[in-house]
């Protein structure tokens, strides 16, 4: 070790010991910043690795088309033969069952239950031969024998199912029993955003279920291409071919990847967002501490300059402490991140696959921590440039860090300050309050740290909570292209959807518990795309009462059509533009009346005013429950009466659909709340500790002229309370305005069909509870620090 390094190490050690409280507070913030940055980067790397590992094992399709109803297999074979870019293709046959028809029992304990709490479709399939495999926990491709079944991992976690349990499926011909042989990961349908999930049974059992009745048959036509860049071209070619089955949703590889990654990816984004705010707070704090250190030790710096030490050497001496603290913070934060990442990615590894530990698993967090280290040190280095401007005479004689020009400017400012803060105009009232206000006006640059920190803390706490309450709100259903209602009924698997619709509508219309009945038909139109005619799914019904909120324009009238955001972007249309559609060979030109947001059906939907009672691919019926009626109970009753309809309570449906999102935001909200309050208390205490230390002489003067310790303390507390409240209020205003726009922008980039997100906040929590907690935290910190003034030696204050 060189002599220079020895001196730096000795100075760093002495300074750390001398200012334990200040350095400990700064170190804690740096550790949290490094911890969250490393954790966020590691969660993202593990998520991408897990999804990629599952995709490598399962080989999901590059393009798929779901279909309900009759189809011509020969046409699918002809299409595949006409497109040499198709590497392989298959038709997956499925049987859909209502969750209430599936029950389980544990022979070893006698425990039992059913899956009725799940509102998604349950699709029984056989294992595929070429691609789109369902993978077990070991990464193998299970092929069950007769009487065996593999369940989705999501149900294993939700219902705590185990290998060896007995599964009972009720069909028209009786109950079929299976033994749960294991659980599978599904590269297509792992996310809660998927409207269905798949069970794997043997070929023999599937054939038996097909003849047993009670299951709704549907297919998926799946394709893997030799070049994924051709996916969009293949989709356009498929949709423009009138002979191919299209009564269902089309999904591309990119959408499958997005749906799988978006929910857990939000956890990583939230952690990185929190870490950025904490880094900002840490740097503000470091800047404040450094400037205070330079002012306190200006004479020592002047002496070092007087004996010939260069400014760079002096800066390096002081910077060594911050280098060491930041390095220790990155090491400790990185080690803590390893533990946290393991906890946060357990669900990822359960639903997808265990990501291999490769070079990226080490490089990603190391690079993230290196960025934190370099960024913090660079900012600290920049602050220490002030050492160059310190003049030896001013430092030794006047104890000032300013040069002659700066000293002159400060003198003018001080003169104005004395005039502005004069008590000559004081006309009564509280002298303490007057002095506190004058001090804040005079030292605004010093006090700006506290409102800035509380501004960031308020944003940190409020933004995740606003996102959570938005996705949990029943009103969020409007982002799914549907009205805000209590009950929804879907008719799409019935042999005769028109008759089922008539029967269900008649029953619901005569039910006193239901009101405001609305019926919509899903029709398959065609419109001209880049490569010819392609399918356009249109919901036809009565929109006169208003159903969804429009970003642009308004609800459709006769001769008009409203488009989802993604469809409007896809066809390059806006309100007032014409759109030609055709159905049954008859073309019609409609005017785009409005554009709305929708996350269902891949976000590609449309709405038309009118009534369709026959020929629809499916129907959806909405109704409200009267006050006091239980929507869930009503839905269960109609499900029992109408086997061909799927009736659900909308509140529970939204909750289950966005469970991955709400889970991510809930974790982020809890984390942000704890860190926000903790940082607020920590920074307030640190600031006031340094502030009281630098104002000993001023407080000594106040004490000498008759101000009591309680009065001096009340001035400090009053100033703290004022700046804390200011920062908190500004933070909440920022969250409600700019924060909302930022969240909407993130959703827009994700491509989910949401381009403008309007927060649906929990007002009592975010705009009453949070500010009270933050303000109370800051005030308690001030009370704790000023309580020490009672036992202080007042004579030492005047001596400085």
Distance, CA of 589 to CA of 559 (rounded, Å): 8
Are 461 and 505 members of one domain?
no
Q: Does residue 380 surpass a pLDDT of 60?
A: yes
DSSP code of 137? T
Q: Does residue 428 surpass a pLDDT of 80?
A: no
pLDDT tens, position by position, 660-713? 677 777 877 888 888 888 888 888 887 787 777 766 667 666 666 766 777 777
Residues 6+ apart with CB under 8 A from 501: 491, 519, 613, 616, 619, 621
The pLDDT of residue 268 is: 66
Domain presence at residue 410:
no
Tell me, rounded to whole angstroms, the distance of Cα 707 from its chain centroid.
52
Distance, CA of 635 to CA of 638 (rounded, Å): 5
Percent of the chain with pLDDT over 90: 18
Q: Which residue, 330, 359, 389, sits at the end of a domain?
A: 389
The pLDDT of residue 791 is: 59
Helix (H) or strand (E) holding 528: strand 514-529
**What is the arithmetic mean of pLDDT over 394-403?**
59
Domain presence at residue 487:
no
pLDDT tens, position by position, 280-304? 777 777 777 777 667 666 777 777 7
pLDDT tens, position by position, 599-610? 766 677 899 988
The neighbouring-strand residues paired with 527 are 534, 581
- Structure tokens of 756? 């403008």
Are 97 and 186 members of one domain?
yes
Q: What b/e string do you get for 231-268 counting C-beta neighbours within 10 Å, with b at 16 or more?
A: bebbbbbbbbbeebbbbbbbbbbebbbbbbbbbbbbbb
Are 470 and 539 members of one domain?
no
Q: Does residue 513 surpass a pLDDT of 80?
A: yes
Q: Are the C-beta atoms of residues 567 and 579 closer than 8 Å to each other?
A: no
Tell me, rounded to whole angstroms, the distance of Cα 555 from its chain centroid.
30
Secondary-structure breakdown of the chain: helix, strand, coil percentages, each rounded to the nearest 5: 55, 20, 25
Are 690 and 765 members of one domain?
yes
Give the 3-state secondary structure of 202-262. CHHHHHHHHHHCCCEEEEEEEEEECCHHHHHHHHHHHHHCCCCCCCCCEEEHHHHHHHHHH
410 pLDDT tier (thresholds 50, 70, 90): low
**What is the arithmetic mean of pLDDT over 480-489?**
81
Percent of the chain with pLDDT over 70: 81
**How many other C-beta atoms are found inside a 10 Å radius of the C-beta of residue 756?**
16
Q: Does residue 586 surpass a pLDDT of 60?
A: yes
Which DSSP string corresponds to 429-462? S-HHHHHHHHHHHHTHHHHTHHHHHHHHHHHHHH
Going by their DSSP bridges, the two strands 216-225 and 166-171 should be labelled as: unpaired
Query: Residue 762's domain spans which residues?
Result: 439-477+654-800
Q: Does residue 372 surpass a pLDDT of 80?
A: yes
Which DSSP string corresponds to 160-190? T--TT-EEEEEETTEEEEEEEEEEEE-TTT-
Are 568 and 588 members of one domain?
yes
More confident residue, 402 or 740: 740
The pLDDT of residue 303 is: 77
Are 362 and 382 members of one domain?
yes
Domain presence at residue 730:
yes
Are 506 and 629 members of one domain?
yes
Give the total number of structural domains in the chain. 4
The pLDDT of residue 601 is: 65
Three-class SS state of 15: helix
Q: Enter the pTM of the model.
A: 0.73
pLDDT tens, position by position, 199-245? 999 999 999 999 988 888 889 999 999 988 888 888 888 888 878 88
Are 638 and 663 members of one domain?
no
Phi, psi at residue 2, to the nearest 5°? -75, 165
**Could you tell me which of 321, 316, 446 has the C-alpha nearest to residue 22?**
321
More confident residue, 468 or 331: 331
Domain presence at residue 749:
yes
Are 658 and 774 members of one domain?
yes
- Give alpha helix (H) positions in 3-64: 3-18, 20-58
**What is the arithmetic mean of pLDDT over 534-544?**
85
User: How long, in residues, is the chain?
Assistant: 800
The pLDDT of residue 544 is: 80
Average pLDDT over all residues of the chain: 80
94 pLDDT tier (thresholds 50, 70, 90): very high
Distance, CA of 189 to CA of 249 (rounded, Å): 13
Three-class SS state of 103: strand
Going by their DSSP bridges, the two strands 250-252 and 63-67 should be labelled as: antiparallel
Residues 6+ apart with CB under 8 A from 198: 94, 123, 124, 125, 134, 152, 184, 186, 188, 189
Q: Are the C-beta atoms of residues 322 and 377 closer than 8 Å to each other?
A: yes
Q: Are the C-beta atoms of residues 305 and 392 closer than 8 Å to each other?
A: yes
**What is the arithmetic mean of pLDDT over 419-436?**
58
Q: Which residue, 389, 418, 447, sits at the end of a domain?
A: 389
Alpha-carbon radius of gyration of the chain: 33
Distance, CA of 693 to CA of 18 (rounded, Å): 14
Domain presence at residue 19:
yes
Distance, CA of 36 to CA of 394 (rounded, Å): 43
pLDDT tens, position by position, 524-534? 888 887 767 77
Q: Does residue 737 surpass a pLDDT of 80?
A: yes
Q: Which residue, 356, 389, 422, sits at the end of a domain?
A: 389
Distance, CA of 549 to CA of 531 (rounded, Å): 32
Domain presence at residue 235:
no
The pLDDT of residue 663 is: 73
Are 197 and 95 members of one domain?
yes
Domain presence at residue 740:
yes
Task: List strand residue ranges (DSSP E) for 610-700, in order.
Answer: 618-625, 645-649
**How many other C-beta atoms are found inside a 10 Å radius of the C-beta of residue 361?**
16
8 pLDDT tier (thresholds 50, 70, 90): low
653 pLDDT tier (thresholds 50, 70, 90): confident
Going by their DSSP bridges, the two strands 578-583 and 514-529 should be labelled as: antiparallel
**What is the arithmetic mean of pLDDT over 128-155?**
90
Distance, CA of 370 to CA of 367 (rounded, Å): 5
- Structure tokens of 495? 């042999």
- Tell me whether residue 614 is exposed, middle or buried, using C-beta atoms within 10 angstroms of its C-beta: 0 to 12, 13 to 18, 19 or more: exposed
**Could you tell me which of 301, 290, 304, 314 has the C-alpha nearest to residue 400?**
301
More confident residue, 516 or 713: 516
Which DSSP string corresponds to 386-404? HHHH--HHIIIII--S--H
Q: Does residue 763 surpass a pLDDT of 80?
A: yes
Are 284 and 378 members of one domain?
yes
Which DSSP string corresponds to 565-599? HHHHHHHT--TT-EEEEEETTEEEEEEEEEEE-B-
Are 382 and 448 members of one domain?
no
**What is the arithmetic mean of pLDDT over 98-126?**
85
DSSP code of 124? E
- Structure tokens of 766? 């975010």
Domain presence at residue 400:
no
Using alpha carbons only, what angle is made at residue 82 by residues 81 and 83, rounded to the nearest 5 degrees? 95
């Amino acid at each position: 070790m060189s002599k220079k390094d020895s001196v730096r190490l000795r100075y760093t050690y002495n300074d750390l010991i001398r200012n334990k409280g200040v350095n400990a507070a700064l170190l804690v913030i740096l550790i949290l910043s490094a911890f969250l940055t490393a954790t966020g980067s590691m969660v993202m790397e593990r998520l991408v690795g897990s999804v990629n590992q599952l995709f490598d094992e399962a080989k999901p399709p590059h393009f798929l088309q779901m279909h309900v109803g009759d189809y011509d297999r020969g046409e699918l074979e002809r299409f595949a033969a006409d497109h040499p870019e198709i590497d392989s293709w298959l038709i997956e046959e499925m049987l859909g069952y209502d969750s209430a028809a599936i029950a389980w029992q544990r022979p070893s304990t006698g425990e039992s239950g059913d899956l009725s709490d799940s509102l998604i479709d349950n699709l029984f399939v056989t294992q595929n031969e070429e691609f789109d495999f369902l993978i077990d926990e070991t990464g193998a491709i299970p092929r069950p024998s007769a009487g065996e079944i593999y369940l989705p991992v999501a149900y294993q976690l939700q219902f705590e199912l185990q290998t060896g349990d007995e599964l009972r499926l009720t069909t028209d011909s009786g109950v079929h029993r299976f033994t749960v042989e294991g659980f599978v990961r599904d590269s297509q349908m792992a996310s809660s955003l998927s409207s269905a999930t798949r069970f794997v049974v043997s070929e023999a059992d599937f054939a038996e279920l097909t003849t047993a009745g009670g299951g709704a048959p549907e297919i998926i036509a799946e394709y893997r291409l030799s070049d994924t860049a051709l996916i969009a071209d293949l989709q356009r070619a498929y949709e423009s071919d009138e002979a191919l089955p299209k009564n269902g949703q089309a999904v591309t590889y990119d959408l499958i990847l997005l749906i799988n990654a978006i929910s857990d990816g939000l956890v990583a984004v939230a952690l990185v967002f929190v870490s950025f705010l904490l880094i900002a707070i840490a740097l503000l704090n470091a800047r404040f501490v450094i400037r205070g250190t330079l002012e306190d030790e200006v004479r020592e710096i002047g002496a070092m300059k007087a004996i010939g030490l260069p400014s760079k050497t002096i800066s390096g001496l002081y910077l060594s402490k911050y280098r060491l603290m930041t390095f220790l913070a990155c090491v400790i934060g990185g080690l803590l991140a390893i533990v946290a990442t393991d906890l946060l990615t357990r669900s990822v590894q359960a639903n997808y696959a265990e990501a291999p530990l490769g070079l990226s698993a080490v490089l990603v967090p190391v690079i993230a921590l290196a960025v934190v280290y370099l960024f913090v040190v660079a900012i600290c280095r920049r602050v220490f440039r002030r050492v160059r401007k310190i003049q030896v005479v001013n430092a030794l004689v006047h104890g000032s860090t300013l040069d002659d020009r700066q000293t002159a400017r400060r003198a003018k400012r001080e003169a104005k300050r004395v005039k502005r803060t004069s008590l000559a105009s004081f006309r009564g009232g509280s002298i303490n309050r007057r002095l506190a206000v004058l001090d804040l006006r005079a030292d605004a640059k010093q006090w700006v740290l506290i409102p800035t920190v509380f501004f960031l803390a308020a944003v940190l706490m409020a933004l995740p909570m606003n996102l959570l309450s938005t996705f949990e709100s029943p009103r969020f259903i409007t982002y799914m292209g549907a009205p805000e209602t209590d009950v929804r009924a879907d008719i799409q698997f019935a042999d005769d959807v028109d008759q089922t619709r008539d029967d269900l509508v008649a029953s619901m219309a005569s039910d006193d518990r239901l009101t405001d009945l609305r019926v919509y038909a899903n029709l398959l139109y065609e419109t001209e795309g880049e490569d010819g005619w392609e399918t356009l799914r249109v919901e036809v019904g009565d929109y006169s009462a208003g159903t969804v909120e429009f970003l642009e324009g308004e609800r459709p009238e006769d001769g008009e059509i409203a488009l989802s955001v993604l469809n409007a972007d896809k066809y390059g249309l806006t309100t007032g533009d014409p759109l030609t559609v055709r159905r049954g060979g008859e073309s019609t030109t409609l005017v785009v009346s409005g554009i709305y947001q929708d996350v269902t059906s891949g976000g590609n939907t449309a709405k038309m005013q009118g009534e369709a009672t026959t020929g629809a691919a499916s129907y959806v019926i909405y109704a409200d429950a009267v006050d006091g009626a239980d929507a869930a109970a009503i839905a269960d009753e109609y499900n029992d009466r109408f086997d061909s309809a799927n009736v659900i309570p909308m509140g529970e449906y939204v909750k289950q659909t966005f469970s991955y999102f709400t889970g991510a935001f809930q974790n982020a909200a809890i984390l942000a709340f704890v860190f926000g309050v903790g940082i607020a208390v920590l920074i307030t205490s640190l600031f006031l500790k340094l502030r009281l230390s630098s104002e000993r002489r001023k407080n000594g003067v106040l004490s000498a002229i008759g101000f009591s310790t309680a009065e001096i303390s009340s001035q400090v507390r009053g100033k703290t309370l004022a700046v804390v409240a200011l920062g908190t209020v500004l933070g909440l205003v920022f969250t409600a305005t700019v924060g909302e726009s930022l969240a909407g922008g993130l959703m827009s980039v994700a491509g989910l069909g949401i381009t403008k997100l309007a927060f649906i906040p929990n007002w009592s929590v975010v705009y009453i509870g949070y500010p009270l907690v933050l303000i109370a935290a800051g005030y308690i910190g001030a009370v704790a620090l000023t309580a020490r003034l009672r036992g202080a030696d007042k004579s030492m204050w005047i001596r400085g």
